[in-house]
Structures are given as structure tokens and as C-alpha cells.
């Protein structure tokens, strides 16, 4: 949640983030497949669940640690 005077800025940043994600996700998927040595056609490019799943778990861990540190400070 953001304060009332910052809500337009935060909303704009979230929308920009979504648009960047939609724009760059095919490129990132291609890079991921290249790093993993997967073919560039078929489900390998469309569904790299393992790398994205690991990435989401790392993000969740970072958020969890950051919120615990923030709670300890308060």
C-alpha cells in the first residue's frame, strides 16, 4: 500500500513493470532455453517451468527475508 499522494506514481510503476515483463519475457525464455541447451521450438520455449519456478522461489525467499527484517526493525 502506498500513501494517497504516491498512489498514482506506484500504479504507473506497476503498469510499466507489467508491460516490460510482457515485452521481454519471450527474449528471457529464449535465453533460458539457450543456457539450458534446449531446442528453440516446441514446449521448451513455451513452458520453461523449472527455471521460472526456481526464480519465483528465489523471489519469494527474498520477499520473506525482507519482510521479516522490516518487522524486526519495527
pLDDT in tens, 13-72: 999 999 998 998 888 877 877 887 776 666 555 566 777 788 899 999 999 999 998 888
48 in any annotated domain: yes
Determine the structural domain holding residue 64 and report its residue range: 7-73
Q: What is the pLDDT of residue 62?
A: 95
1 in any annotated domain: no
Count: domains in the chain: 1
**Could you report how far apart the first and last alpha carbons of the chain are, in Å?**
17
2 in any annotated domain: no
Half-sphere exposure for 71 (CA within 13 Å, toward CB): 6
65 in any annotated domain: yes
Q: What is the pLDDT of residue 33?
A: 76
Q: What is the pLDDT of residue 31?
A: 83
58 in any annotated domain: yes
Helix (H, G, I), strand (E, B) or coil at 38: coil
pLDDT tops 80 at residue 10: yes
Q: What is the pLDDT of residue 60?
A: 96
| Nearest of 51, 60, 17 to residue 31 by alpha carbon | 51
pLDDT tops 90 at residue 2: no
Amino acid at each position: 500500500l502506498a500513501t494517497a499522494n504516491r498512489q498514482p506514481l506506484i500504479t504507473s510503476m506497476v503498469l510499466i513493470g507489467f508491460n516490460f515483463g510482457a515485452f521481454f519475457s519471450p527474449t528471457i525464455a529464449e535465453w533460458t532455453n539457450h543456457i539450458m541447451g534446449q531446442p528453440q521450438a516446441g514446449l521448451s520455449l513455451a513452458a520453461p517451468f523449472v527455471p521460472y519456478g526456481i526464480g519465483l522461489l528465489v523471489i519469494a525467499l527474498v520477499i520473506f527475508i525482507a519482510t521479516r527484517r522490516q518487522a524486526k526493525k519495527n
